[in-house]
Amino acid sequence: MSLPDYIHSPTVAAQALGFGDPATAGIVPAIHPSTTYERGADNTLLSGRLYSRADNPNYEPPEAVLTRLEAGAATAVFSSGMSAATAVFMALKPGDHVLVPKVIYWALRAWLLGWATDWGLRVESVDTTDPAAVEGSVRRGQTKLIWIETPANPTLVVSDIEALAEVAHRAGALLAVDSTFATPVHSLPLLLGADLVMHSATKYLNGHSDVIAGTVTTREEDAFWGRIIAVRSQAGTVLGPFEAWLLLRGMRTLFVRVAAQSRAAMRIAEHFEGHSGVEAVLYPGLTSFPGHRVAARQMQGGFGGMLSLRVAGGAPGALSALGRLRIWKRATSLGGVESLVEHRASVEGPQSATPADLLRLSVGLEDADDLIRDLEQALK
């Protein structure tokens, strides 16, 4: 690891901070499947490692790279985005009050309103796009965490990280940001005052639809961080070494992938704004989008590869357009090299608050003209 200090984030990612295989001088790290580590005759750990439910050489490179990209103090990789997010809430204590967004990844909402509430967390949903509403919902001495997701899944609404960090800190609470849609290419929440940043690394960080993973990065290695790490090793929500290795490989191309996906998403959004087959295009890059000004302030170099279309003709219109697509793949998830589309309300089920006419698009790396043409023929 002899890279100069001045390197920029795309260099950090492409060279994985210089991590390779010291044993062979290989320029990519080896995979370390060992679950346990030997002790010497004096009973001390020879490598400092004990057991792979706590640490493994394959966790370290993606953790170090992401810590650097997010300008944080430390990162932990988890077995999924959900286990990363839930570790943050599990590090709280029964009776603690948390504020979470009204628009939030639906499985996390279900977990918060189900398990977390059963275990004694006091979970309150609030419109996090309105800092005054969040401030009004804070319970002094009781609110320990404000969780936001920006841009949010699936309506892309934007929350003001800097303003909400101030609200959280005035109340003695932490601000955690699910930055899965924004990625460290476009947004650095810790530099805007957030305390924790979480990713579903299944999405853009890995980028190839072949790993389920999650991450949490902290601004400070404090006692709360120690509890998050303890949740991971005690609950055993660790990533397998091969998945960690794949994640690092995916992260090497993060900057070129996300830049291209954001450019194409912007073109698609502009193309379909005002289109007769579309009621509304939800994309933070459009100046007409309600969260655009905040997004423009807190996102650099683009607005991400996710957008949603509200299709004319309600749910039947959306579902028949979905059925006519030939290049976009009908599948859940996002952030991969292939473009995906889904009717979120069907996936989220009867409790869903997502508009029934909404199709969520994850823009991949195909030719943008091909993607636009496919949508054109589907939306007529």
Ligand X SMILES: Cc1ncc(COP(=O)(O)O)c(C=O)c1O
Instruction: Tell me which of 59, 105, 255, 303 binds ligand X, using CB under 6 A.
Output: 105
Instruction: Tell me how crowded residue 25 is: count the other CB atoms within 10 A of its CB.
Output: 7
Site for ligand X contains 143 (CB under 6 A): no
Close Cβ partners of 184 (under 8 Å, ≥ 6 residues apart): 9, 66, 69, 70, 254
Close Cβ partners of 280 (under 8 Å, ≥ 6 residues apart): 309, 310
Site for ligand X contains 195 (CB under 6 A): no
Within 13 A of 257's CA, how many CA atoms are on the CB side?
A: 27
Question: Could you tell me where the DSSP H helices lie in 182-313?
Answer: 183-186, 223-235, 241-251, 254-272, 292-298
Please give the helix or strand (H or E) that residue 279 lies within, else none.
strand 278-282
Q: Is 367 a known active-site residue?
A: no
Give the position of tokens 């199709």. 359
Q: Give the binding-site size for ligand X (rule: CB under 6 A).
A: 13
Site for ligand X contains 283 (CB under 6 A): no
Q: Is 21 a known active-site residue?
A: no
Question: In the β-sheet with 74-78, what is the strand arrangement from edge to edge?
Answer: 74-78, 214-218, 196-200, 174-178, 143-149, 97-101, 122-126
- Assigned token pair, 212: 């389920």
Shortest Å, Cβ 140 to ligand X = 29
Instruction: Tell me which of 96, 149, 357, 374 binds ligand X, using CB under 6 A.
Output: 149
Is the CB of 126 or the CB of 171 nearer to ligand X? 126
Instruction: Tell me which of 57, 101, 214, 250 binds ligand X, using CB under 6 A.
Output: 214
Instruction: Tell me which of 143, 153, 159, 209 binds ligand X, using CB under 6 A.
Output: 153
Site for ligand X contains 128 (CB under 6 A): no
Distance, CA of 142 to CA of 5 (rounded, Å) = 42
Q: Is 178 a known active-site residue?
A: yes
Shortest Å, Cβ 203 to ligand X = 6
Site for ligand X contains 364 (CB under 6 A): no
Binding track over 74-93 against ligand X, x by CB under 6 A = ------xxx--x--------
Distance, CA of 318 to CA of 324 (rounded, Å) = 10
Is the CB of 317 or the CB of 355 nearer to ligand X? 355
Is the CB of 19 or the CB of 237 nearer to ligand X? 237
Site for ligand X contains 178 (CB under 6 A): yes
Site for ligand X contains 72 (CB under 6 A): no
Shortest Å, Cβ 108 to ligand X = 6
Site for ligand X contains 150 (CB under 6 A): no
Instruction: Tell me which of 52, 56, 159, 180 binds ligand X, using CB under 6 A.
Output: 180
Please give the helix or strand (H or E) that residue 101 lies within, else none.
strand 97-101
Amino acid at 254: L
Instruction: Tell me how crowded residue 367 is: count the other CB atoms within 10 A of its CB.
Output: 10
Is the CB of 178 or the CB of 243 nearer to ligand X? 178
**Positions marked catalytic:** 53, 105, 178, 203
Residues binding ligand X (CB under 6 A): 80-82, 85, 105, 149, 153, 178, 180, 200, 202, 212, 214
